[in-house]
Structure 1
């Protein structure tokens, strides 16, 4: 791979490690400290700014790789029609070279596409975890308020206590929905990782066979 595609691969590995860290079942106090550091640290904010610019360049590489895949597909189709509708048919090692270029173009397209898609999953997971932490804070505050009011006596305390209990139930339902969304994102990321591993295995097999056929 060229240098910039190697950097894209390194970024993909970093995204996978970050996603694993986000979904790691850490204690609440540790998780809160980690996300508070990420959301408030100015250095992290600068890194996020430059990462957005980096993803713009990766998007450009992705568009370019899609264009290359299309052009190689057209070239391979012209080579496969026996020269009836285009130039003379490409034979032997030249055809293998076209097929190798097709695979490299597809590899670059998948690499950039996976990196962009995982960045969206990573950002969505981060936002959802922040929302869950805010909901947990509200649930705890509502539970404290409800338990405090339930200890009091009098007619005015009962409606307030029922209202707080209903608020706690609503917040718990929102937490469960957020948890289900995170599980869905986790499954999507796992599927993405499996697809990329399969592509890497296919690439490794091609690397073993290609030197014997292509000069």
Structure 2
């Protein structure tokens, strides 16, 4: 394997490690979100879009080169000698190996980018749901406090006015509680949708890992034949 394809293979192994860290429950979504918004990554995020597309373009170029090599050696005429035939088969195998390496590297780059977006969205939804829960709890406490004041102030001279005001405040608080509960239900549904998307990504990653293991076994068999 040449130095260039060795670097691409190393990049692929690094991508597999990153995907495992993001998928496995090592850190929570809130911790990952704090890490993504750290000072160091915030400084890099300004140029991250350019670097991502540049890296993707380089991988696509190597993928096209591997496809060209595959077409070249798969469409050539049958060699006359055994030695030349073995060399032809070896070059075709290397072209196929390079195709899989570059293809998986491109796919995992897109998967990592999507996982980061999903984790960031999940962290923001969790923070919003916690804030809504606190607001609902404070509104419930205020409603209970007003109801208690209504009972204790029943014998005063302005009972009718205070009762009407308390009823109005109670109705407003009840409406606010209903709105907060509806918002909380909506955020829980969004969280469940994100969880289902993450589960589908996990299943897809397991399938790709199995295919990559088969590719490694095939590559090991080819290296032994070389």
Could you tell me the TM-score, scaled by structure 2's length?
0.80
Q: Distance in 1 between matches of 2:29 and 2:92?
A: 48
Moved more, 49-58 or 38-47: 38-47
Distance 1:21 1:57 in 2: 25
Report the counterpart of residue 179 of structure 1 in structure 2: 195
Q: Give CA-to-partner distance per residue, 1:113-169, whole Å, 9 cap, x none.
A: 000001011100110110101111111111111111122231111121111101101
CA distance in 2, matches of 1:134, 1:29: 8
The secondary structure found in structure 1 opposite 2:37 is helix
Match of 2:157 in 1: none
Task: Point out the structure with max Rg over C-alpha.
Answer: 2
Show the counterpart of 2:19.
Answer: 19
The yes-or-no answer on 1:167 pairing with 2:169 is no
Any runs of at least 4 consecutive aligned residues in structure 1 with deviations exceeding 4 A, and if so which? Answer: 44-48
Superposition CA RMSD, Å: 2.0
Structure 2 portions without partners, runs of 5+: 144-169
What secondary structure sits across from 2:38 in the alignment? helix
Seen in structure 2, the aligned counterparts of structure 1 residues 27 and 206 have a Cα distance that, compared at 3 Å, is: closer
Unaligned runs of 5+ in 1: 80-88, 211-215
Task: Give the number of equivalent residue pairs.
Answer: 199
Partner of 1:86 in structure 2?
none
Equivalence for 1:73 = 74
1:90 is displaced (CA, Å) by 3.1
Structure 1 length-normalised TM? 0.84
Contact 1:39 1:45 in 2 (8 A): no
Residue 35 of structure 2 corresponds to which residue in structure 1? 34
